[in-house]
């Protein structure tokens, strides 16, 4: 799982996770469970398979998207692991072999926010 440290912030009629280099809107379900953490630091978690290139997603929700730079491409046969950097963190996405990324290229990615998790920054306990 990828982990990002940031804060929960109210904005534009919802709750957002702000990493410093990017921000994404929490799903309604996640926001309902994270409301008590508004304004506080949390750890945001998302699995590599829950990240996609927006080119391959029909009508991607812009508030779930971010830009990231490709650092490493690791072909694994039927899939490819792509390592990215954005903001203050590095992370990995598991993608289809049709992905045409190149090292140092900036890609627009989307997080499947219904599959995201929030954790306590000190204990690691799941918040939502």
What does pTM read for this prediction? 0.91
Domain tally for the chain? Answer: 1
Q: Decide if 128 is inside a domain.
A: no
Q: Decide if 125 is inside a domain.
A: no
What residues make up the domain containing 41?
Answer: 2-119
* Cα atoms in the 13 Å half-sphere on the side-chain side of 103: 5
pLDDT confidence tier of residue 98, bands split at 50, 70 and 90: confident
Q: What is the C-alpha to C-alpha distance for residues 22 and 26, in angstroms, rounded to an integer?
A: 13
Q: What is the C-alpha to C-alpha distance for residues 96 and 51, in angstroms, rounded to an integer?
A: 11
**What is the domain-level CATH number for residue 15?**
2.40.50.140
The predicted pLDDT at position 88 comes to 87
- Cβ contact 126:117 at 8 Å: yes
Q: For residue 60, is pLDDT > 90? A: no
Q: What is the C-alpha to C-alpha distance for residues 69 and 108, in angstroms, rounded to an integer?
A: 9
Q: Decide if 33 is inside a domain.
A: yes
Q: For residue 128, is pLDDT > 80? A: no
């Amino acid at each position: 799982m990828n982990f990002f440290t940031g804060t929960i912030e109210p904005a534009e009629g919802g709750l957002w996770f702000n990493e410093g280099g990017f921000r994404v809107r929490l799903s309604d379900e996640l926001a309902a469970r994270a409301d008590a953490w508004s304004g506080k630091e949390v750890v945001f978690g998302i699995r590599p398979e829950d990240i996609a290139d927006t080119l391959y997603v029909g009508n991607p929700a812009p508030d779930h998207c971010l830009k990231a730079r490709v650092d490493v491409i690791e072909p694994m046969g039927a899939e490819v692991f792509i390592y990215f950097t954005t903001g203050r963190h590095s992370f990995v996405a598991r993608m289809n072999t049709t992905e045409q990324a190149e090292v140092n290229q900036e890609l627009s990615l989307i997080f499947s926010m219904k599959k995201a998790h929030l954790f306590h920054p000190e204990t690691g306990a799941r918040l939502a």
